[in-house]
Chains A and B, each alone.
Chain A
Amino acid sequence: MSRLAVDIGGTFTDVVVETPTQRFSTKVLTNKAAPELGVLDGVRKALALAALHPSEIGLIVHGTTLATNAIIERKGAVTALVTTEGFRDTVEMAYEHRFAQYDLFIEKPKPLVPRPLRFTVPERLDVRGQVRLALDEPALLRLAGTLRARKVESIAIGFLHSYINPMHEQRAGAILAAELPDVRITLSSDVCPELREYERFTTACANAYVQPLMARYLGELREQLQVEGFSCPILLMTSGGGLTTLETAVRFPIRLVESGPAGGAILATVVAAELGLRRILSFDMGGTTAKICVIDDGKPMASRSFEVDRQYLFMKGSGFPVRIPVIEMVEIGAGGGSIAGVDAMKRVQVGPDSAGSDPGPACYARGGSEPTVTDGNLILGRIDPEHFAGGSIRLETERAETAIARQVAVPLGIDPLLAAFAISEMVEENMANAARVHAVERGTDLSGRAMIAFGGSAPLHAARLAEKLGIAEVIIPASAGVGSAVGFLRAPISFQVVRSRPSLLGSLDDAGLNTLFDAMEAEATQVVRLGAPGADIVITRSADMRYQGQGHEIAVQIDDARFDAESGTRLRTAFEDAYRTMFGRGIPGLEIEVTSWTLTATAPAVTAGPAMGVNTGAGHAQPAGQRRLFDPQHGAYRTVPVYRRAELGPQQTISGPAVIAEDETTTVVTTDFDARVDQTGAIRLLKRRVEVAREAA
C-alpha cells in the first residue's frame, strides 16, 4: 500500500508519497486563501512523480499550521465564553504577573475572547464537585438570545471545578446547542479536564476559536480529495506526535497546533531507531527558530503544556497556555534569518528578531540591510554564494560584509570576519544554553547523546553545537528538507485522555481509580479504533505526581494495569526514582500526591516505509572544489575541500575541516570531526577518538 503525507507550513506545503520501496517528495507554495487547493496542487505533483493514481493510495496523513496561524493572526471565529458568575475576567487576568521583570512597557497577550463576549451564569460547584448553586437555566436561555444577536459562531463553556464534575457544563452545552444549532460548542471539561481555571478556560477558548475554521477546512479537504479520486482514510497529525481521525480533529482542533515540529521529532525518532541509537538530541533549525528535543529509547518526551502566541518572541510566559498533549521541545529565536547586533555592554546579540525570508538576510539583496546569521555564515565560508538553495538565490557577499561591518564589526572595533565568527558563536551558544536549561528542566543530561540535525540551517551549525554540548556524534539524515511530512508517515495512531482527580498515595481509592481508568480507556480506544479498526491497541498510563506541597508535578509511568492495595507503594517507589533522577535527591518522610491521571491508547504505525534513504554514491569521491573556511583555532581563513553529498561513497571518511554541499544546505565538518555517509544516505559526523581520549585525560 502506498501512503501520502501533507504538511502545510507557513511558506511551503510539503507532500511525500511512499510506496513500499520508494519515496517521492515535492514542495509547493502554501495557498493562504484556500489551503486545500495548495494541498491538491502538491498532491497531484507528488502522484505524478510516483506515477500513482489516487485510488492506489491507502492512507493520507495530514498536518497543518492553520490553527496556529488563526490564533496568531487573530483570524478565528467570533467566539463567546460562558463562565461561572463572578469569573468573567479569569482569562484576562491570567497569572496577574509580568512576564518580563525589567521591562516597564510590556503588553500582555490579549485573550482570544474579548470582555464583551464573555458572559456569566449563576452556578457553582465546589472542590468536591458538589453543587453549591444550581445552574440557572432560564438565565442561559436568555443568554442564547444575546449570543444569537451578537452573531457568535463558536462558544466555549468553562465553569469552576468542571474537571471533577462536568454536569453543569454539559447541561449548559445542551441548552445552548438546542437554542443555537449552527454554533459550535466546546466544553472545558471535554477539551482539558484539569485543575487550574485559567489554563482550562483558555484551552477551551482556543479550541472554540479555531473550530469553525478547521471544521470548514477539513470538510472542504475531504470533499476535494474525494472528487480527486481518493477513497482512503485521512488521519491528522497532532502536537502530541500521534495521529487522529478527522472527526476527532474537528472536535479538538486545538490538538493540531504543533503538528509540524511533532513530525520532525518523529522523523528523528525513526532515524535513531534505524541506526540503533538510544539517546538522542534532535536539532531542527530553519530560518526563524531552532527546536531542540530530547528523545530516549525511541520516545520523545511528552508534556501537556504549550504556549501559543508569545508576544515576546519565544519568551516563556509571554503567550497564553493551552493544555494539550505535546512533544516536549524547546524553541528559541535562532535561525538563518536571526538578526545580529551589539548591545550596550558591547556584547554581540543574535535574535530573536528575524529578517525572515522577506526581505531576508542582507546577502539576499532583496532589500534587507540587517546582518543575520546567514550573512555571517556566508562570510565564514560555510555557504557557497553560487549554490545557495539549489542556486535559486545568488548571495552577495559584499552586502553581508557591509551589514556586518556597520552593525557589529565597527561597534566592536574588530574586522567583519571576526564579527561574523562572533555572530555564529553567539547563536550556537544561545542554542546550547537553551538545550542545557531544557535538559536540566527535564532531569536529563546531554553529554553522550547523538544529535540528529535537520532543517535548512542545522547542518551548518550542528558540529559546533555538538562540541559545545559534549556530543560526539551528529547525524544528518537524507530527506531532511521534507522531514516533518516523512515523520507523519511514521506516527502511531493515538489518543490521550487526562483527568484531574487529586489523590494522596497513602489513601488511594483503588476501586474508584479502576472505574476512572476504565472510562478513560473506553474513551481513548473508541477514538483510536476509528482510525485503526482491528489494530492491537496499547494502553499506557501515567500520573502527574509531586510531594504534597510542591507546585510542580512530574509525570510518572504507571505499570499497574489494575489498582490494588499495593499500588500506592509501587507508585511511591516509581515517583521517588524519577524524582532522584531529576533533582539528585528525594525527600524522606513526605506524603506524595497525584494531581492528574493520564491514559494513552496507541495503535502502532501502520507499516514501515522504505528506509530513510539510499546511498547512491559510488566509490571514493574526490573533492568537487575548495573553499575558504574560517578556522576558529587560528582565527583566520583556511582552505578546505568541498564535497558533493550525492557523490560520497559508503566507505569513505572525510576528515574535518571540510564542507559537504548539497542543494538545500551545507554540512560543516569542523576540525575535530570526521564525516562518513552511511548506507541510508545519512551523513554521520564522528568526533575523532584522539579528541575524546584527550578530554578523558
Chain B
Amino acid sequence: MSPSDKMSMIHYQIMWNRLISVVEEQAQTLIRTAFGAPTREAGDVSAGVYDTQGRMLAQAVTGTPGHVNSMAMSVGHALKKFPLDGLDDGDVLIFNDPWIGTGHLNDIVVVTPIFRRRKPVALFACTLHVVDIGGVGVSGGGKQIYEEGLFLPPTKIVEAGRLNQWLVDIIAANVRESVQVLGDVFSEISSNDVGGRRLLAMMDEFGLESLDLLAEHILTESRRASLEAITRLPFGTYHNSMTVDGLDEPMVFKAALTIGPDGIDVDFAGSPGIVNKGINVPLCYTEAYTSFGVKVVVAPHVPNNAASLATIRVTAPEGSLLNAPHPAPVGGRGSFGQMLPDVVMGCLQQAVAAGVPAEGTSCLWNIRMMGGYGRVDAPSATMLRATPFNLTSFHSGGTGARPRQDGMSATAFPSGVRNVPVEVTETMAPLLVWKKEFRTDSGGAGRQRGGLGQLMEIESAEAMPFATMSNFDRVRFPPRGREGGLPGATGRVSLASGEELPGRGLATIPAGDRLRVEMPGGGGYGDPFARAPDLVAEDVAFGYISAEAAATIYGVVLSETGEVDLAGTETLRAARKPAA
C-alpha cells in the first residue's frame, strides 16, 4: 500500500479516526474505574497512543490541559531509560517523576508497549491523579520534592506479564490509601491493554505490519494544518505581562510570544524565581498549559499529537518558578500553571483579529477542608471528639468575556474539571454548605460581560472547628478586561463573622462560624456603554447585575418595572461617554 494510492489515503483517514476513538475508549475506562475524586468526578486523566519512536499519534479528548504536552513527551522520556528493543511483550512501565511525567507526584504515568508478531508496533500511555502519594502531597507545604511523597523513576510494574510485587509492596507501604492507589494503577494497566487490543484488531483489519506510514500521514497532515493556522496570523513578537497575587509579594508573569513561519515560540524570561513552597511549576507543566492556551485560540481543530504540539515551543529560564528544577517542591503546581493561558492570550490578543477572551478566574477554587485530631489548629482534647476528614471540593469562579459572547459563570477554565455536588460533599464529611450562589456584580462589565463568580458558605455539621488549606489567586489582582472591558471582582476568603483569611495558606474555622469563599468573576470585553440596553435590563432582571451597576457602569436607565428607558439611556451614555 503506497501513500500515493488514493484508496489507502481513505484508509489512513479511517485509521486516524479509529486511533482517536481507541484512546477515548482508554480514557473512559480510566474514569469509570478510578477512585480519587480528581479523576472520577473531575476527569483528571489522559490517554494516548505512540509510535515506536515515542511520538504521540493521538490523545483522548477527555482529560485536562495539564496533560496536553507533558503526556506527549513522557513516553519519549521513558524510552530513553528503557529502549524499546529491550522491552518484551507483557512489560509495563510506571513512573511519577514530575519532570518527565505530568508535573507532580500524584500523577502516575503507565506506559505499555504493544507487540504484533513479536515485534513492537506502538505504545499506549495514560496518567491519572491518585488520591494520595504519601508525604505532604499537593498541599504546597513541602520544601523539597522529597517531602511531597513517593517518587517513582521509570521502572517496570509488570515484567513479561508478571506483576512486580516488590514494587507494589513499596507503593502500598508509602501511601495513605494504598488499596485505592493500587486500584488506580491497575485500572491504568487495564486501560492500556484495552487500547492495545483495539489497535491490533485495527492492524489486522487493514493488514498493517507497522504503523510507520500511518504515523507519517498523521504527523505530516497535523503539522501542515497547524502551520496553516499559525501562518495566517501576522508574524512578529508580542509581549504581555500579568500580575498575580503570588505568595507574600505579588508576582509578574512575563511572556514573549513569537509567531513565525515555523510555529509559535513562547518565552517566559523575566518571570518570577522559584519559591520555598510546593507551588513551583516544572517545565513540562508550564509547556502543557501554555500550549493549551495557544492552541485553543490558534488551532483548536487540529488533534493533539507530536507534530501539532511541536509547532508550539515553550521556554522559561532554568531555576525560575515556571521551570523549577529538581528537587524543588511542585505538588501544588496547578494554581500558577492554570494562569498561563491568560498570560499567552494577552499576547495573542495583539495578533488575532477576532480577539481572544478576557482574563478569567483561571485557577481552580478548590476548597480543601480537614477535620479531626492532628489536622486542625484547636485543642487536641476537642479535636479527638471530631470526625476525621480530608476533602477537596472542586469549584470555579467566572471565565472572561469573549469577543462576541459573555463569559461563563462559575465555570472551570482552562482546567477541564467538573464540580463535586453539595450533597456528595456532605456525604463525605461532616459539613453543611449553606450557600452556593452567583455573586451579583462580580462579572467584569463590558459590551460582553465577564462570567459571574460564586459565593459558598460552609459550616461544620457537628459544631467542631475545622481547617481549610487555600491555594487561590485573583484575591488581590482581579482578572482584567479587554478592549475597554472592566476587571472582574476579586475573590475573597473569610469567616462569616467577618475576619479575612489568607488566599494562600492554612486557616481555622471556629465551631459555629462559617467559611465564606467568594470566587472571582471574569473580566469584561469591550466598553460597557456599548452593551445592548436590553441585555443590561435582562441582567438586572436576572440579578446578574444590580440596578445601580446598570446606571453607573453600563449607563442604562431602567423604569421601575425594569424596562429600558431608551431616551434616558441615550442621554446618559452620551453625557458620560469619554471624549476619546
Contact = CB atoms under 8 A, between A and B. Distances in A.
Interface of A: 86-90, 92-93, 95-98, 101-108, 114-116, 124, 126-127, 132, 160-161, 195-198, 343-348, 412, 414, 418, 421-422, 425-426, 429-430, 433, 436-437, 440-441, 468, 502, 547, 549-552, 583-585, 587, 589-590, 632, 635
Given A89-B438, A196-B423, A421-B10, A98 B408 contact: yes
Max count, chain A CB within 10 A of own CB: residue among B31, B183, B396: B183
Interface class of chain A by DSSP: loop
Given A196-B423, A345-B302, A551-B40, A114 B542 contact: yes
A343 B224 CA distance: 12
A416 to B, nearest CB: 12
Given A89-B454, A547-B35, A583-B190, A116 B419 contact: no
A279 B37 CA distance: 35
Contacts of A108: 408, 411
Contact of B17 (A132, A426, A585): A426
Nearest to B562: A116
Contact of B32 (A343, A552, A590): A552
Nearest to A86: B435
A587 B182 CA distance: 9
A93 B13 contact: no
A96 B411 contact: yes
Contacts of B421: 195-198
Given A98-B411, A98-B416, A418 B198 contact: no
Given A93-B454, A103-B300, A347-B16, A86 B437 contact: yes
Given A86-B436, A160-B423, A583-B29, A436 B198 contact: yes
A345 B222 contact: yes
Interface in B394-452: 394-396, 402, 404-405, 408-413, 416-419, 421-424, 426-427, 432-438
B9 interface: yes
Contacts of B25: 436-437, 440
Contact of B40 (A127, A421, A552, A583): A552
B28 A589 contact: no
Given A93-B410, A115-B543, A345-B221, 4 more contacts: A97-B419, A101-B65, A132-B432, A549-B180
B116 interface: no
Interface in B4-59: 6-7, 9-10, 13-14, 16-18, 21, 24-25, 28-29, 31-37, 39-41
Interface string B293-332: 0011101111100000000000000000000000000000
- Please name the 5 residue pairs, one residue from A and one from B, whose CB atoms are nearest each other, closest first: A551-B40, A86-B435, A433-B21, A96-B419, A102-B300
25 contacts: A87-B435, A92-B438, A96-B394, A97-B411, A97-B417, A98-B408, A104-B356, A124-B432, A127-B461, A197-B423, A344-B229, A345-B221, A347-B16, A347-B221, A426-B17, A429-B14, A429-B17, A429-B18, A437-B21, A437-B28, A440-B25, A440-B194, A552-B32, A552-B33, A584-B190
A95 B412 CA distance: 9
Interface residues of B, number: 93
A123 B417 CA distance: 30
Contacts of A86: 433-437, 457
A347 B10 CA distance: 8
Contacts of A430: 17
B33 A583 contact: yes
A95 B32 CA distance: 17
B215 to A, nearest CB: 14
Given A127-B426, A429-B14, A440-B28, A105 B180 contact: no
Nearest to B304: A102
Given A96-B394, A97-B411, A583-B190, A550 B35 contact: yes
Nearest to B205: A468
Given A115-B542, A343-B301, A97 B18 contact: no
Given A104-B300, A440-B194, A550 B34 contact: yes
B564 interface: no
A104 B418 contact: no
A437 to B, nearest CB: 5
Contacts of A344: 225, 228-229, 299, 301-302
Nearest to A421: B10
A632 B198 CA distance: 23
Contacts of B29: 440, 583
B183 A587 contact: yes
Choose among A93, A115, A468, A502 the residue with the greatest number of B CB atoms under 10 Å from its CB.
Answer: A93
Nearest to B297: A104
A93 B409 contact: yes
A262 B234 CA distance: 54
B417 to A, nearest CB: 6
B515 to A, nearest CB: 14
Contacts of B433: 86
A468 B409 CA distance: 43
Contacts of B426: 126-127, 161
Nearest to A423: B10
Interface of B: 6-7, 9-10, 13-14, 16-18, 21, 24-25, 28-29, 31-37, 39-41, 61, 63-65, 131, 177, 179-180, 182-183, 186-187, 190, 193-194, 198, 205, 221-222, 224-225, 228-229, 295-297, 299-303, 356-357, 394-396, 402, 404-405, 408-413, 416-419, 421-424, 426-427, 432-438, 454, 457, 461, 541-544
A441 B32 contact: yes
Given A195-B427, A437-B21, A98 B413 contact: yes
A103 B402 CA distance: 12
Contacts of B541: 116
A102 to B, nearest CB: 4
A433 B17 contact: yes
Contacts of A87: 422, 435-437
Nearest to B64: A101
A550 B128 CA distance: 14
Contacts of A583: 29, 32-33, 187, 190
Contacts of B396: 96-97
A691 to B, nearest CB: 13
B405 A105 contact: yes
Contacts of B413: 98
Contacts of B543: 115-116
Nearest to B404: A105
Contacts of A635: 6-7
Contacts of A107: 405
Contact of B416 (A97, A127, A436, A468): A97
A89 B436 contact: yes
Contacts of A421: 10
Nearest to A468: B205
Nearest to B357: A104
A433 B18 contact: yes
B15 to A, nearest CB: 9
Contact of B402 (A101, A105, A437, A590): A105
B218 to A, nearest CB: 8
Nearest to A100: B61
B418 A95 contact: yes
Nearest to A132: B432
B221 A590 contact: no
A127 B419 contact: no
Nearest to B193: A584
Contacts of A124: 432, 434
Most chain A Cβ neighbours within 10 Å, of B32, B222, B426: B32
Given A422-B13, A425-B14, A550-B40, A126 B297 contact: no
B295 A102 contact: yes
Contacts of B18: 429, 433
Contacts of A114: 542
Given A161-B423, A433-B18, A433-B21, A347 B454 contact: no
B436 A90 contact: yes
Contacts of A348: 10, 13
A652 to B, nearest CB: 31
